[in-house]
Structure 1
Amino acid sequence: MPVETPTRQRLDKWLWHARVTKTRTLAQKLVESGAVRVNGNRVLASDHRVGPGDGLTIQLHNRLRVYRIAAIVERRGSATVAAALYEDISPNLAKPES
């Protein structure tokens, strides 16, 4: 019998699996602080479900990151695996010349 791959996942788990945060606890705190938007709507519950195609806007370390979720996985993997979970569509903000 084939194993079904889930189509949706808790937001905090996805952030941790995608290596946006170092721990799941930090992912929960990030969401609950109001620093994450899903498809343009602020989310305050770390158990909010996300899946492929959803857009995330994350304010982290004084940077704005915009990701489109490409996939979800059951376990946290290597950085290479994590990079395949999203498409980075963050705006290129020009840095001032020194």
Structure 2
Amino acid sequence: MLTDHANPPTQVRADQWLWAARFFKTRSIAKQAIEGGKIDVNGAGCKPAKTLHIGDKLKISRGEERLEVEVLALSAQRGPASIAQTLYRESEASIAAREVARAERGTRNGGLLRPPSRPNKQERRQLMRFKDQDQG
């Protein structure tokens, strides 16, 4: 479905809008997310063909991320990220919750610092010798 920029659409399928707004990489992934119950429109579940209108509120779950957005504009075509960001507005509560979740994930490992890369052959042998000392 081609859209004319002079006459923006008044309604768009939910899976198309999620794809155009760059929440999902493909429409089929957006459709799977909707069918899996990861998307709520105005507080209720939806189907991929549900029509979205300006002003609708969406709750989107992607992995550990939870987003609450309001539809500001409609588009059935995927464009640049700068244009996709103008299609919605994320709520302040959602932004704050994502920041808290990001901080928690950072401290979840209990301050354990992981090495920047895998050990090379020499370092692996040193680790094996060290572990053998502990057991013996």
1:4: how far off? 3.8
Deviations 1:11-65 (A, max 9, x none): 000000000000000000000001100011112x100000110000011111110
Runs of 4+ in 1 over 3 A off after TM superposition: none
Structure 1 residue 6: Cα displacement: 1.7
Distance in 2 separating the partners of 1:8 and 1:26: 21
Residues 1-98 of structure 1: pairs in structure 2 closer than 5 A: 4-43=7-46, 45-89=47-91, 90-93=94-97, 94=100, 95-96=103-104, 98=107
Residue 91 (structure 1) shift: 4.6
Match of 2:126 in 1: none
Q: 1 or 2, which has the higher helix percentage? A: 2
Identity percentage of aligned residues: 32
SS in 2 for 1:29: helix
Q: Report the TM-score, using the length of structure 2 for normalisation.
A: 0.65
Larger Cα Rg: Structure 1 or Structure 2? 2
What do you get for the CA RMSD once the two structures are aligned?
Answer: 1.5
Aligned length: 95
Equivalent pair of 2:14/2:49 in contact (CA under 8 Å): yes
Structure 1 distance, partners of 2:89, 2:36, is 24
Q: Which has the higher contact order (CA 8 A, sep 6+)?
A: 1
